[in-house]
Every structure is written in C-alpha cells, then in structure tokens.
Chain A
Amino acid sequence: MTTIQAVHHLLTNREVTCRELTVRYLKAADDVNPQVNAYISLTKEAALAAADAVDKKLCRGEALAPLEGVPFCLKDNISTKGLATTCASHMLENYVPIYDAAIWEALGTQNAILVGKGNMDEFAMGSTCENSYFGGSKNPHNLGHVAGGSSGGVAAAVAANIAVYGIGSDTGGSIRMPASFCGLVGLKPTYGAVSRRGLIAYGSSLDQIGPITTCVEDAALVFDAICEKDPGDMTSRGAAPVADRLTGDIKGLKIGIASEFFEGLSGDVDKALSDAVALYEKLGAEIVPLHFPLLQYVLPTYYIIACAEASSNLGRYDGLRYGHQAPSFSDLNDFICRTRTEGFGKEVRRRILLGTYVLSAGYYDAYYNKAQQLRRAIVREFSDMFARCDVILTPTVPVTALQFGADLSPVETYQTDICTCSVNIAGLPAVSIPCGVDSKSLPIGLQLIGGRFREATVLNAALAFERETARSYLKTADMGVAL
C-alpha cells in the first residue's frame, strides 16, 4: 500500500508523470477488479483528463495541492455529473446525475484522479457489502471474506492498491467497519463537518462523508480537503483543518474505556484491544473507566431513525423521472409498485417497510418519538463521558471480516454495528485504525471516538498508536500497484 504523501512526492519530484501514474492505476484496476469487485464503474476519461491537467501544472512549475494528481475511489452514492452513480441498486443502474456533489466539486478543483466509483451495499444499507446489485466486494486480505459494509468497495480498492485513498459515507459505521475489515484507517467526521450535498441520502441525520486511507496522516489530509462549510447544505458547519495539528504526542491524554463496548468480543479481537490499551498506557495516556448503560438501546434507536429517514428519502424512486421503470403495468399505482419492487433489493425493501411502519400514525409515538428521546439521552450520556476523558476507545467491530455468504439473520448482522452506530446517533467524530490481526491474518480495528469537532484529538491519538506500532500489523495485499 502507498500513501497520499508518497504519491505527492513522486509527482512533485517528477519521478513519474501523473498520466503514467494514472494509467498504471487504471490498468491495475482493470486487472484486479474482476477478483475484488471494488469498482462498479471505472472513470478512465475523467481520470486521464485530470491527470493531464496535473502534468500541465507541473510543467509550468506550479505547486500541487496535497491531493492533486492522487488516484482515488469515490463511493457510488456520491453524485458525479455525467458519470453513472448507481448506489449499487438496480433502481439506479443507468442513472447519470445532472449535477455534482459538493465533495466532488471540492476534489475536482484539486485535480483529484477519479479511478472509479466504489462498490457498496445497495443505498448504503448493510454491514458486509454483499447487498450490492453488482455483487459483493471481496476482502483483498482474503478473497473468501467480505470487505465490510457499506463502503466495502472503497476499502477494497484501497487495500488492493487500485486506489491510493477512498471517499466513503458512514451512516452507522459504513466507513469504519470496512476500514477495520480491510486493515485501513477510516474517519467518520463530526456530523456537519463535511457537506452532504450530492450524497444520495440513506439516513439524513446520520450520514456523513469521510476518508478511507492507508495511514492516519492521509486521513487528516483528505479531511482538510473536504471539511469546508457549504451554504448548499443547511446542516453543514465546516471544520478547522487538522493535519498541521497532529504531533503524535499523547502524554496525559485521557482515554475512556466503557466496559459495555467490550462485551461479546471474539478472542482475537479482545486480545488485540487489550494490547492496544496497554500500549496507550505505555505511551503516557491515562485510562479512565467509564459506563455507557444506554449502549443496549443504541441499535434499536439507530435502526428506527435510520429506517424512518430511509423510507422518506427513498420515496422519490418511483420510476417517473429517472431510474428503473417497470416494463409492464396496469395503472399508475401498479407502475410505481412494480418499479419499486423490481428496483430495490431485499434489504432496502425491508428497511423502507420498517421505516414506514415506525412513522405511521398509530406507531409514531411508540417508536419514532421514543427513538428521538433515546437519541437525546445518548447524546447526554456521551457528553457526560467526555467530561471525564478526551477520547473513548472501543473495538470498531466485535468480529473480524465474515466469510462470504455467512448468512447471519438480519438482527445478527445489525449487531455488528453496535460499536459504530452510537457515534452517528450522537453526531461525533470517530476513527478506526488497524490494531492487529486474527488467527487467519484478518485485520482487527480499534475505534477512537472524540467530542464534536475534535477530529484533531482523535487523529492525534490514532497517529500515536500508528507510529508506535509502525504499521507492523499491516500486510499489503499482493495485487494492484506497488510504488
């Protein structure tokens, strides 16, 4: 695996032209993608055009911005004008947006090299990336295992060395879980730090765009490039840049450990986490024991809110203006019914139905209103915890990458989100970093959660760990581009 900074050096030192670099990534993506299924589509023309612009700048002797000329993967639920954006759904299989997402505008002005659009769980609903209309993404560390969801394609592309970094979205752990499964760094920023304009919505009050990278400093660089306040998103706040503030020094940092997060871990994960905590103590951090009794309510709260918002957000897919259209029907109602039944996969339909149910007149108070109350209580509980510590350390996922077709029940699958979901409910920033491997050499991740807009604190704690372990736990998958 390579880093953004390494590519930036190669380009600015003229060791490779951006076109050569891009061609290598495109070629590798062509070769590797059939095995890994990381990309839904490759965007060769856009990539080469951006590469030529970078080379022109280099010829003129102009300096490059940090992400300029660096090949990356963009999750396929982020709107790119003129380039197919499918949400990995049959519903949007042939959908080509008429406008650009804010984040693609921001990266586009930096001549980011878009290799392709990353595979995902359909409409970002899933924890394994198996719910894609285009088939699941495979874990480059072991192709018999899943890459994790829902930004699994993005993580797989980075882990398979066919993208230097990736941009995913995280509604309940969709950046951090695949980062954890694929041995990468995944940052879910504070809600509102990055504009959602153009991110095809799943759960609007939970969704947040963020980077998946090979190292902590890269995550900071990408965050800095995308954290601008956007007047086109009323929930956007922007955030101060963090890259310059990372020191890796965590002496005196208070790390909170809430025992509730550590229940039911697999042996390997438990061991890796204990070692990580010990390492943090060795580095001068102070461990603060905490309690998070509301954790038991996190999953129901999360699924009620996420599904309610999803049922609302996905109502627009009726086949009348874009997307799949049922070929045969008797009247308008029948047309919409058939279009939606054919266009949406099983998991999406399940969540729409669940969301419609919890919002319906007779059940609103019992479910949606209760969930909102719990949400406020969870936010309070987090702020109580942050009164006592700087970051909270948890496992990212209680298990390592599942085998393909593990066939868990929906509820069992949902439980893999237990450590990540609470962060989205409270709108907090969190990062997942690799902290070891299991007996099958599958990566294990740990999560560091911070207070609102404390990305710098969280990333600094992550950097300290990464430096100390020198990424010894990471094995590069034997595929893709090696620079």
Chain B
Amino acid sequence: MTYEMVIGLETHVELSTKSKIFCSCTTAFGGAPNTHCCPICTGQPGSLPVLNKSVVQYAVTAGLALNCRINRHSVMARKHYVYPDLPKAYQISQYELPLCEGGWVELSGGKRINLTRIHIEEDAGKLVHQGSAVFVDYNRGGVPLIEIVSEPDFRSAEEATEYLEKLQTILRAVGVSDCRMQEGSMRCDVNISLRPKGETAFGVRAEIKNLNSFTSVAAAIEHEFKRQEEILSSGGVVVQETRHFDADTGETTNLRGKENADDYRYFPDPDIIPVILPYDVLEQLESSLPELPDKKLARYVSQLGVPEADARMLTKYRAVSDYFEKASAGVQNPKTVATFMVTQMFGVIQTEAEREHWSPSVTAEQLGELTRLLESDKISRNLAKRVFSQMLETGKPATAFITEEDMAGFDASALKALCQKAIDDNPKSVDDYKAGKEKAIKALVGAVMRESKGRANALAAEEELKKLIIG
C-alpha cells in the first residue's frame, strides 16, 4: 500500500513593532535577562494589558498580503496553561472571532495552500537552563506574534518548505516581520497524518512542535512519514499525540499524549475591549500595501526583461528589490543592473542574513551611474565589471577607477582610428576577409582589443572594421 501525507502548518511569526503587545516595553532582541520588562508583561497582580494599536495594524497588513478576509470586529481571549515562562498562567490570544480568516499562499507550481485564519497573540518568556538550575527570562514575554494556521493542504515536505519560504518573503516585503527562524521570530508546528493514496478521509495526526528551521521542518516531516508508514503498514494504529523533533538525531519523540490533552479553557479576556477596526484605518492599510513579491517578480520579468532566476533573487528581500529599482532609475535596460547585482554583488554578499540586511558598500546611485556609463558606450563591459569589483571593495564611485585614458577611444572617431591601425598592421587578415573568410575579421577585432587594452567594444569594433574594409 502506498500512503500519502496530509500536512497542516501552524506558523508563529513575531511582528516587528517597536513595543510589546500590551505594554510599552521594547521588543528588541537580546538584552540582559528581565530588563525589557514591566508589571504588565510580567503579569504582576492587578496589572492590566493595553492593546498596542500597531500590533493590530501589522497583523491586518499580514492578512491583506496573504489574501485574508479581515474581521472588523475581533476579540482577544485567554488561553490557559501553567508553565513558568507564562507569568499570568494564561496567554492572551484570539479564539472565536480572530482578526483574519481565509486567505491563501500560491506555490510556484500554481498550487494554492489555503489558510484557516491568522490571529494575534503574545509570546511567552524563555527558560534558561544553567547546570541543574532553571531561570526564567521574561524579555520576550509579551512580544507580539501572529499565528498563521493553514488548512491541511500540503502533500510533501517540499511544499511545506516552499510555503514557509513564501511566507517569509511576503511578510518581509510588507515589513511586518523579519521572519528569522534562527532567532525564533518565525517558528512552526507541523500536523501530519497519513492515509492510503486515493482515500479522502483523514488519518490520525501527530503534532510536531516548535520547529525552527526549514531543514528541521523537512526532516521532521520525512521522519514522521516513515514512522507512521511503518506503524500503518504493519497493521498498527497511529496515536494522536504531540511530538518533539530532535535536530541532532533527526527523529521525533513523544512529548505528551492525548490522554492529557490540553483544555485551554478559552474565554474572552474581560480586561480588553473588543478590537474594532475603523473603515478608514482598514482602507488606509489596504492602499498602503506595497507591491507583493509575486507581482514584483512578474513585473521584473515581463516589463523589465530580467531573467526569472535573477528576478527571484532580487525580489526575495524588500531592501534588495528597493535597491534594484533605485539603481535602475534612468537606466535603459534594467537587466544590466540585475546582472551586476546577481553576478557580482551576490558573490560578495553571500549569506542570507547579509542579503536580508542589504547594506552594500556601493550605493544604488553609484551602480546606476556605472550602468549608464556602460550603456552610453563610454566604457566597455569588461572594464565595467572590473570597476564594479573595485567599487564593491572600496565603496568609491565608478569615476574613481575610470581614467581619462579608459574613456578615450570610445567615441566613434577614436574607435575608427584604432580600426584603421589594425587594418594597416594586418594586411593578410584583410585579404583573407575580402576572400570570404568570415573568421578573419575576428583576428582584426583581436588586434583592436589588444591595442585598446581590452577597453574597446568588440561588437562596435567589428562593425567599424567591416565598414572600413568593404567601404
């Protein structure tokens, strides 16, 4: 029997607001333990939460970017569980009436992953183990999150990872989160069940909690598929449970079973009035939504003539695409800018983290200037490449590396003189060409290039040579 996997993802994304969801404490990452805290985020007796408006706006923006229906009326609820990193013994989240419902993410093959809902909630603190002691750091407590719940629409680990990459790209593009899995600002729970291929009913699912990298998600899914497949094909029954993935062993292990399933005792938080989104705010958020990565990609390819592979790299991070568009301003062929960026800049700015931060030594204006020099035939492509390398190394503008000598010889008369010299110096090649040996022209072009120390435009030289020989 062959089995197919049915996967749903719950993705937690930290919003990049400056202050926490219910108080004015900073959300800055790090800091000495328990220094980004106040009576509200540590749940002191009598303290009251005050919902941060920008959290709602960020979450609405995320919902709009992911094609959700935005509920103008939503309600904050308390989700109860006891854990030392949760100082109130409940997490303020949303249950009935979440902020966003529906929506979808389209994978590159055109398949849509449907979303159930997106809701806002607060993050918990963090346990710090030191030897046999355990400490609690509440700096992260109260940092705003959105939870994006998908329908069980995934059928492979690849789809799951592509979806997560897509989410990352989209949420970064609209500026609501930096989605850094390594810093925990994006994490994922996987629900996975198996069923015989062709079957429509769902099997019993296991939930794997708190995955914090794409590779973990993929590995956990693969491992869980094998584990459940073995159980099913040997006639066993999968039990509903919560499992933990160990990145070192690549295996999942039981965390807790269904027998002590959580009863969160949700109810509307009486301290927080219902969230009412005014029409004008919703309209304003809708109209200020930036161009989304998929649209941008299509535009780069169809309108700007950028090869799709390059366009994908350029649209992955907002800062990169902003840079590209700025550098392309006033340029005839934006593809040239794309090529500079993909072949040379990405060679220097190699890690994803560096690309995400995107603070290259060369400004967009400087790259634009270089491109325009190249396009107006003032310098050769080879020279431009060399110059760009030096620019990247030093952060200085193109003019710092282009001498008058470099520029000389690139107006029409100078090229003509060079070509005439090549013809005069190589009568044999001229005769060969006249005799119909097309290849002979290459020797003459070579001579021009040598004479110009590689600065001449080979194509222009070839045309000029032909004109001079044939007359």
B239 at the binding interface (Cβ < 8 Å): no
- Nearest to B138 among chain A residues (CB) is A321
B265, A234: Cβ atoms closer than 8 Å: no
Q: How many residues on the B side are at the interface (Cβ–Cβ under 8 A)?
A: 27
Q: How many A-B residue pairs have CB under 8 A?
A: 94
Q: Does A353 contact B (CB under 8 A)?
A: no
Complex Cα–Cα for A197 and B22 (A): 13
**By CB atoms of chain B within 10 A, which of A200, A233, A316, A356 has the most?**
A316
Are A204 and B271 in touch, CB under 8 angstroms? yes
Cα–Cα, bound, A360→B80 (Å)? 10
Q: Which of A101, A233, A235, A356 lies in contact with B265, CB distance below 8 A?
A: A356
Complex contact B267–A234 (CB within 8 A): no
Residues of A within 8 A of B45 (CB): 79, 85, 87, 92, 95, 97, 200-201, 316-317, 322
Does B42 sit at the interface, judged by CB under 8 A?
A: yes
Q: Is the CB of B273 within 8 A of A359?
A: no
A101 to B46, CA, bound (A): 8
Q: Which residues of B contact A92 (CB under 8 A)?
A: 45
Given A360-B265, A368-B267, answer yes or no on A97-B90 (Cβ-Cβ < 8 Å).
Answer: no
Stretch at the interface among A176-184, A307-315, A387-395, A452-460: A307-315
Contact stretch, chosen from B81-89, B158-166, B346-354 = B81-89
B84 & A332 in contact (Cβ 8 Å cutoff): yes
Q: Are B136 and A359 in contact (CB under 8 A)?
A: no
Q: Interface residues of A, CB < 8 Å — how many? A: 44
A232 within 8 A of B: yes
Taking a contact as CB atoms under 8 Å apart, the answer to whether B90 and A315 are in contact is: yes
Q: Which of B48, B78, B88, B271 has the most CB of A within 10 A?
A: B48
Asked whether, in the complex, the Cβ of B50 is within 8 Å of the Cβ of A232, the reply is yes
A303–B449 alpha-carbon span in the complex (Å): 94
**Beta-carbon nearest neighbor of A198 in chain B:** B46
Contacting A at CB under 8 A, from B27-79, are 39, 42-51, 78
Q: Is B263 an interface residue (CB 8 A)?
A: yes
Tell me whether B272 is interfacial, beta carbon within 8 Å. yes
Whether the Cβ atoms of B43 and A200 lie closer than 8 Å is: no
> Residue B109 at the A interface, CB < 8 A?
no
Contact with A along B259-275 (1 / 0, CB 8 A): 00001010100111100
Pairwise interchain contact B88-A316, C-beta atoms closer than 8 A = yes
Does A201 lie within 8 Å of B46, measured CB to CB? yes
> CA separation between A58 and B66, bound complex, in Å?
65
Whether the pair B44, A98 counts as a contact (CB closer than 8 A) is: yes
Q: Among residues 221 to 267 in chain B, which have CB atoms less than 8 Å away from a CB atom of chain A?
A: 263, 265, 267
Q: Which of A315-342 contact B (CB under 8 A)?
A: 315-318, 320-322, 332, 336
Q: Which of A99, A204, A309, A316 contacts B43 (CB 8 A)?
A: A316
The verdict on A315 contacting B39 (CB below 8 Å), with A97-B45, A368-B267 known, is no
B78 touches A234 (CB 8 A): no
Set of chain B residues within 8 Å of A199, measured between Cβ atoms: 46
Say if the beta carbon of A5 comes within 8 Å of chain B.
Answer: no
Within 8 A of A (CB), among B159-199: none
Q: Which residue on chain A has the smallest CB distance to residue B134?
A: A332
Complex: A361 Cα to B260 Cα, angstroms: 13
Is the contact region of chain A dominated by helix, strand, or loop, or is it mixed? loop
Provide the A64-78 mask, 1 if CB < 8 A to any CB of B, else 0: 000000000000011
Q: Decide if A234 touches B271 in the complex (CB within 8 Å).
A: yes
Within 8 A of B (CB), among A147-206: 196-201, 203-205
Which residues of chain B are near A311, meaning CB under 8 Å? 265
Q: Tell me the residues in window 253-274 of chain A with beta carbons closer than 8 Å to chain B beta carbons.
A: none
Judge whether A231 is part of the interface by a CB distance below 8 angstroms: yes
Q: Which of B44, B136, B270 is within 8 Å of A204, CB to CB? A: B270
B272 touches A234 (CB 8 A): yes
Interface positions, chain A 372-386, Cβ under 8 Å from B, are none
A312 to B271, CA, bound (A): 12
Q: Name the residue in B87, B90, B267 with the highest tally of chain A Cβ atoms < 10 Å from its Cβ.
A: B267
Q: Which residues of the partner chain B approach A99 to less than 8 Å between Cβ atoms?
A: 39, 44, 47
Bound together, the chains give a CA A270 to CA B84 distance in angstroms of 53
18 A-B interface contacts by CB (under 8 A): A79-B44, A79-B45, A79-B46, A87-B45, A92-B45, A197-B46, A197-B48, A199-B46, A201-B45, A205-B270, A231-B50, A234-B48, A234-B50, A235-B271, A315-B89, A361-B263, A364-B265, A364-B267
Report the 7 A-B pairs with minimum CB-CB distance, sorted nearest first.
A315-B89, A205-B270, A359-B265, A204-B270, A200-B46, A200-B45, A79-B46
Q: Which residues of B contact A (CB under 8 A)?
A: 39, 42-51, 78, 80, 82, 84, 87-90, 136, 263, 265, 267, 270-273
User: A79-B45, A79-B46, A316-B45 given. 12 additional CB < 8 A pairs?
Assistant: A77-B46, A79-B44, A98-B39, A197-B47, A199-B46, A234-B50, A234-B273, A308-B267, A316-B88, A320-B136, A359-B80, A364-B265
